[in-house]
Amino acid sequence: MASSASDKPRIGITTYLEPTIWGVWQRDAALLPRVYLDAVANAGGVPLLLPPVGTDPTVLDILDGLIIAGGCDVDPASYDAAPHPETTDTRPGRDTHETILIRAALERELPLLAICRGLQMLNVALGGTLNQHLPDVVAHDLHRPSPAVFGRTDVKVEPGSLTARLLGDRSSVHCYHHQALDLVAPSLKVTARAEDGTVEAAEVDGHEFALGVQWHPEENPEDLRLFTALIDASRRHQS
Protein backbone atom coordinates (compact mmCIF):
# COMPACT_ATOMS: atom_id res chain seq x y z
CA MET A 1 0.00 0.00 0.00
CA ALA A 2 1.07 3.62 -0.47
CA SER A 3 2.72 5.55 2.33
CA SER A 4 0.60 7.15 5.05
CA ALA A 5 -0.25 10.84 5.03
CA SER A 6 2.43 11.51 7.67
CA ASP A 7 5.22 10.21 5.41
CA LYS A 8 7.09 12.08 2.74
CA PRO A 9 5.53 11.22 -0.64
CA ARG A 10 7.34 8.51 -2.59
CA ILE A 11 7.97 9.71 -6.14
CA GLY A 12 8.94 7.19 -8.79
CA ILE A 13 11.20 8.49 -11.57
CA THR A 14 11.86 6.59 -14.79
CA THR A 15 15.51 6.03 -15.66
CA TYR A 16 17.82 5.46 -18.59
CA LEU A 17 19.43 2.10 -19.38
CA GLU A 18 22.75 2.96 -21.01
CA PRO A 19 26.33 1.75 -21.55
CA THR A 20 28.16 3.37 -18.64
CA ILE A 21 31.70 3.64 -17.29
CA TRP A 22 32.53 3.92 -13.58
CA GLY A 23 35.80 3.03 -11.92
CA VAL A 24 37.23 -0.01 -13.71
CA TRP A 25 33.80 -1.07 -14.99
CA GLN A 26 32.17 -0.61 -18.38
CA ARG A 27 28.69 -2.11 -18.32
CA ASP A 28 25.03 -1.32 -18.97
CA ALA A 29 23.50 0.50 -16.03
CA ALA A 30 20.28 2.22 -15.00
CA LEU A 31 21.03 5.88 -14.46
CA LEU A 32 19.43 9.29 -13.97
CA PRO A 33 20.94 12.77 -13.66
CA ARG A 34 21.16 13.77 -10.01
CA VAL A 35 19.28 17.03 -10.63
CA TYR A 36 16.01 15.04 -10.76
CA LEU A 37 16.72 13.46 -7.39
CA ASP A 38 17.65 16.77 -5.78
CA ALA A 39 14.54 18.47 -7.16
CA VAL A 40 12.25 15.82 -5.67
CA ALA A 41 14.09 15.73 -2.34
CA ASN A 42 14.26 19.52 -2.01
CA ALA A 43 10.54 19.75 -2.78
CA GLY A 44 9.80 17.38 0.10
CA GLY A 45 9.57 13.97 -1.57
CA VAL A 46 11.52 10.72 -1.58
CA PRO A 47 12.84 9.77 -5.06
CA LEU A 48 12.64 6.12 -6.14
CA LEU A 49 14.21 4.96 -9.41
CA LEU A 50 12.21 2.92 -11.93
CA PRO A 51 14.53 1.20 -14.44
CA PRO A 52 13.13 0.00 -17.80
CA VAL A 53 13.56 -3.65 -16.83
CA GLY A 54 10.99 -6.03 -15.35
CA THR A 55 8.17 -3.54 -15.89
CA ASP A 56 5.21 -4.14 -13.59
CA PRO A 57 2.53 -1.46 -13.23
CA THR A 58 1.68 -2.67 -9.72
CA VAL A 59 4.86 -0.92 -8.54
CA LEU A 60 2.72 2.23 -8.70
CA ASP A 61 0.74 0.88 -5.74
CA ILE A 62 3.63 1.78 -3.43
CA LEU A 63 4.13 5.23 -4.98
CA ASP A 64 2.43 8.55 -4.34
CA GLY A 65 3.52 10.24 -7.59
CA LEU A 66 5.37 9.58 -10.85
CA ILE A 67 7.86 11.49 -12.98
CA ILE A 68 8.54 10.45 -16.57
CA ALA A 69 12.07 11.77 -17.12
CA GLY A 70 13.78 13.18 -20.20
CA GLY A 71 16.18 11.28 -22.43
CA CYS A 72 16.60 9.96 -25.96
CA ASP A 73 14.25 10.19 -28.94
CA VAL A 74 10.96 8.32 -28.88
CA ASP A 75 10.93 5.47 -31.43
CA PRO A 76 8.75 6.69 -34.35
CA ALA A 77 7.42 3.14 -34.78
CA SER A 78 5.43 3.74 -31.59
CA TYR A 79 3.27 6.26 -33.49
CA ASP A 80 3.44 4.52 -36.89
CA ALA A 81 5.96 6.86 -38.53
CA ALA A 82 9.10 6.25 -40.55
CA PRO A 83 12.28 7.51 -38.87
CA HIS A 84 13.64 10.94 -39.80
CA PRO A 85 17.39 11.02 -40.64
CA GLU A 86 17.96 12.90 -37.36
CA THR A 87 16.12 10.26 -35.30
CA THR A 88 19.10 8.06 -34.55
CA ASP A 89 19.08 7.44 -30.80
CA THR A 90 16.01 5.49 -29.64
CA ARG A 91 15.26 2.98 -26.88
CA PRO A 92 12.09 1.04 -27.81
CA GLY A 93 12.22 -0.93 -24.56
CA ARG A 94 12.09 2.25 -22.54
CA ASP A 95 9.19 3.51 -24.67
CA THR A 96 7.20 0.38 -23.84
CA HIS A 97 8.11 0.62 -20.15
CA GLU A 98 7.00 4.23 -19.87
CA THR A 99 3.82 3.71 -21.88
CA ILE A 100 2.74 1.01 -19.42
CA LEU A 101 3.51 3.22 -16.42
CA ILE A 102 1.81 6.30 -17.89
CA ARG A 103 -1.41 4.45 -18.65
CA ALA A 104 -1.41 2.73 -15.26
CA ALA A 105 -0.76 6.04 -13.46
CA LEU A 106 -3.68 7.70 -15.22
CA GLU A 107 -5.96 4.77 -14.40
CA ARG A 108 -4.99 5.14 -10.72
CA GLU A 109 -5.26 8.97 -10.73
CA LEU A 110 -1.63 8.97 -9.57
CA PRO A 111 -0.11 12.48 -9.79
CA LEU A 112 2.07 12.60 -12.89
CA LEU A 113 4.75 15.03 -14.07
CA ALA A 114 6.19 14.30 -17.54
CA ILE A 115 9.41 16.13 -18.46
CA CYS A 116 10.72 16.82 -22.01
CA ARG A 117 10.79 13.34 -23.58
CA GLY A 118 8.24 12.53 -20.88
CA LEU A 119 5.71 14.93 -22.43
CA GLN A 120 6.37 13.33 -25.82
CA MET A 121 5.79 9.87 -24.34
CA LEU A 122 2.60 11.08 -22.64
CA ASN A 123 1.31 12.33 -25.99
CA VAL A 124 2.26 9.14 -27.85
CA ALA A 125 0.85 6.88 -25.12
CA LEU A 126 -2.49 8.67 -25.51
CA GLY A 127 -2.54 8.48 -29.31
CA GLY A 128 -0.62 11.56 -30.47
CA THR A 129 2.39 11.97 -32.78
CA LEU A 130 5.66 13.90 -32.81
CA ASN A 131 7.62 16.25 -35.01
CA GLN A 132 10.85 14.27 -35.24
CA HIS A 133 13.14 17.20 -36.01
CA LEU A 134 11.84 20.54 -34.81
CA PRO A 135 14.29 22.74 -36.80
CA ASP A 136 12.52 21.53 -39.96
CA VAL A 137 9.33 23.12 -38.62
CA VAL A 138 10.48 26.30 -36.84
CA ALA A 139 13.62 27.02 -38.94
CA HIS A 140 15.94 27.46 -35.96
CA ASP A 141 17.72 25.36 -33.35
CA LEU A 142 17.19 27.52 -30.26
CA HIS A 143 15.49 24.63 -28.45
CA ARG A 144 18.75 22.66 -28.59
CA PRO A 145 21.49 25.18 -29.37
CA SER A 146 24.47 22.79 -29.23
CA PRO A 147 25.43 19.44 -27.69
CA ALA A 148 25.06 19.41 -23.89
CA VAL A 149 24.09 23.11 -23.81
CA PHE A 150 20.61 24.03 -22.61
CA GLY A 151 18.72 26.76 -24.40
CA ARG A 152 16.29 29.26 -22.89
CA THR A 153 12.71 29.49 -24.10
CA ASP A 154 10.00 31.97 -23.16
CA VAL A 155 6.63 30.25 -22.91
CA LYS A 156 3.16 31.75 -22.89
CA VAL A 157 0.73 29.90 -20.62
CA GLU A 158 -2.98 29.35 -21.20
CA PRO A 159 -5.08 31.26 -18.62
CA GLY A 160 -7.14 29.16 -16.24
CA SER A 161 -4.99 26.05 -16.62
CA LEU A 162 -3.15 24.15 -13.90
CA THR A 163 0.06 25.31 -15.59
CA ALA A 164 -1.03 28.94 -15.19
CA ARG A 165 -1.93 28.45 -11.53
CA LEU A 166 1.57 27.13 -10.93
CA LEU A 167 3.67 29.40 -13.15
CA GLY A 168 1.60 32.46 -14.07
CA ASP A 169 0.98 33.64 -17.62
CA ARG A 170 4.61 33.52 -18.79
CA SER A 171 7.82 31.75 -17.85
CA SER A 172 11.42 31.52 -19.05
CA VAL A 173 12.61 27.92 -19.02
CA HIS A 174 15.58 25.64 -19.75
CA CYS A 175 15.15 23.50 -22.87
CA TYR A 176 17.07 20.81 -24.72
CA HIS A 177 15.13 18.94 -27.39
CA HIS A 178 14.88 18.56 -31.16
CA GLN A 179 11.52 16.78 -31.16
CA ALA A 180 8.13 18.08 -30.05
CA LEU A 181 4.41 17.35 -30.15
CA ASP A 182 2.79 17.32 -33.59
CA LEU A 183 -0.72 15.82 -33.54
CA VAL A 184 -1.89 16.32 -29.95
CA ALA A 185 -3.68 13.36 -28.36
CA PRO A 186 -7.45 13.87 -27.97
CA SER A 187 -7.31 13.71 -24.17
CA LEU A 188 -4.49 16.27 -23.89
CA LYS A 189 -5.07 20.00 -23.55
CA VAL A 190 -2.20 22.28 -24.66
CA THR A 191 -1.52 24.80 -21.87
CA ALA A 192 1.70 26.55 -22.97
CA ARG A 193 3.54 27.33 -26.20
CA ALA A 194 6.84 28.90 -27.17
CA GLU A 195 6.83 32.02 -29.32
CA ASP A 196 7.45 29.85 -32.40
CA GLY A 197 4.31 27.82 -31.66
CA THR A 198 6.04 24.76 -30.20
CA VAL A 199 3.87 22.98 -27.61
CA GLU A 200 5.59 23.50 -24.27
CA ALA A 201 3.04 22.12 -21.80
CA ALA A 202 -0.06 19.96 -21.85
CA GLU A 203 -2.46 18.53 -19.29
CA VAL A 204 -4.60 15.41 -19.36
CA ASP A 205 -8.29 16.31 -19.28
CA GLY A 206 -10.21 15.12 -16.26
CA HIS A 207 -7.19 14.55 -13.99
CA GLU A 208 -6.26 16.62 -10.96
CA PHE A 209 -2.52 16.49 -11.66
CA ALA A 210 -1.32 14.99 -14.95
CA LEU A 211 0.98 17.58 -16.49
CA GLY A 212 3.72 17.40 -19.11
CA VAL A 213 6.27 20.10 -19.92
CA GLN A 214 8.67 20.18 -22.86
CA TRP A 215 11.34 21.99 -20.86
CA HIS A 216 13.64 20.81 -18.05
CA PRO A 217 12.47 22.24 -14.70
CA GLU A 218 14.99 20.10 -12.85
CA GLU A 219 17.75 22.28 -14.34
CA ASN A 220 16.61 25.30 -12.34
CA PRO A 221 17.05 24.54 -8.62
CA GLU A 222 15.88 28.07 -7.77
CA ASP A 223 12.40 27.30 -9.12
CA LEU A 224 10.86 24.13 -7.71
CA ARG A 225 7.23 25.12 -8.29
CA LEU A 226 6.39 22.15 -10.53
CA PHE A 227 8.03 19.68 -8.16
CA THR A 228 6.43 21.26 -5.10
CA ALA A 229 3.04 21.05 -6.81
CA LEU A 230 3.66 17.37 -7.62
CA ILE A 231 4.57 16.70 -3.98
CA ASP A 232 1.46 18.53 -2.76
CA ALA A 233 -0.75 16.53 -5.15
CA SER A 234 0.99 13.35 -4.03
CA ARG A 235 0.23 14.13 -0.38
CA ARG A 236 -3.44 14.50 -1.30
CA HIS A 237 -3.25 11.21 -3.14
CA GLN A 238 -1.91 9.50 -0.01
CA SER A 239 -5.19 10.10 1.76
Question: One of 97, 143, 177, 216 is an active-site residue; which one?
Answer: 216
133 part of the active site: no
200 part of the active site: no
Question: One of 116, 143, 175, 200 is an active-site residue; which one?
Answer: 116
Question: One of 98, 200, 218, 219 is an active-site residue; which one?
Answer: 218
Centroid of chain to Cα 217: 10
Residue 9, Cβ density class (10 Å: 0-12 exposed, 13-18 middle, ≥19 buried) = buried
216 part of the active site: yes
3-state SS of 98-163 is: HHHHHHHHHHHCCCEEEECHHHHHHHHHCCCCEECCCHHHHCCCCCCCECCECEEEEEEECCCCHH
Instruction: Please state whether 166 falls in left (phi above 0), alpha (psi between -120 and 50) or beta.
Output: alpha
Report d(CA 196, CA 219) in Å as an integer: 22
Q: In a 3-state reduction of DSSP, which class is residue 88?
A: coil
The catalytic site residues sit at 116, 216, 218
